[in-house]
Amino acid sequence: MVVHSISRYLLIILSLFLFSLVIIECKSIKFSTSLSPKSLDLKIEKLTHLHFYLQAIIGGDHPSEVKVAGPNTSFIAFGTLEVEDDNLTVSPDVNSMTIGRAQGILASADQNELAYLNVLIFEFTKGVYANSTLSLLGRNQIDVPNREIPIVGGSGVFRLSRGFAITSRIRFIPNSSVVLVFGCYVLHY
C-alpha cells in the first residue's frame, strides 16, 4: 500500500517536471508578437490610380524582351519563356519621360489560346514613388483589350498593397516595338 502511493507521488512529480519542460521549450521557440497596425504607421487605406505606358523593344541589337527558352517553332508557342525589362513612360511616345521599369517573366501557358502566365514588377523611379514597386501576378491574354491582371503586393509607398491593372496594346510594329497602356488601381496606406 505504502509502496503503491509512493510510486503514485513519483509519477505526479515526474509529470509536473515534464510539463514544465514543455512550457520552457514553448517559451524558447516563441518567434512572433502581436503588433498594432499603428506601430507601422498603417492608418488609413487609400486608393491610387496610376496611368502610364510600357515600351517594349522587340527587335534590333538591344531588345527589352528576350526569349530564354521554349520550342523552336514560334515566338508565342506553348512553353515559350520570355524575360522583359521595359521602360515605363508618361505618354505613348517612347521618348517621353521615363517614370520606371517593368521587369518580369512571360510564360506561354495555355495550350488552346494565346495566354501567358505573367509575373511582373513595376519599379518606379520618379517623385514620391521612387524606389517603390508593385508586384503583378496573373493570366495575360496579350491580344485582348482591357485585360485585367491582379496586383498582389508592393514595397515602399505601396507596402501591403493590392489592386488590379487594366492593360491594352495600343501599338505594335512587328520586329520592332510594342506599346501597352496601363491603368493601375492600388489600395495602399
Ligand X SMILES: *[C@@H]1O[C@H](CO)[C@@H](O)[C@H](O)[C@H]1NC(C)=O
* Residues forming the site for ligand X (CB under 6 A): 55, 57, 64, 72, 87, 98, 130-131, 174-175
> Between 88 and 147, whose beta carbon lies closer to ligand X?
88
Cell of 138: 496573373
Q: Judge whether 150 and 166 are in contact, CB under 8 Å.
A: no
Shortest reach from residue 129's CB to ligand X, in Å: 8
Supply the minimum distance, in Å, between the C-beta of residue 31 and ligand X: 30
Residue 166 near residue 183 (C-beta atoms within 8 A): yes
With CA atoms as reference, report the closest residue to 90 among 118, 53, 119, 42: 53
Min dist. Cβ of residue 176 to ligand X (A): 8
Cα 37 from chain centroid (whole Å): 22
Q: Cβ of residue 102: shortest distance to ligand X, in angstroms?
A: 11
Residue nearer to ligand X on the CB measure, 80 or 147: 80
Query: For residues 149 and 100, what is the distance between their CA atoms, to the nearest angstrom?
Result: 19
When the beta carbons of 45 and 93 are compared against ligand X, the nearer one is 93
| Residue (112 or 175) nearer to ligand X, CB | 175
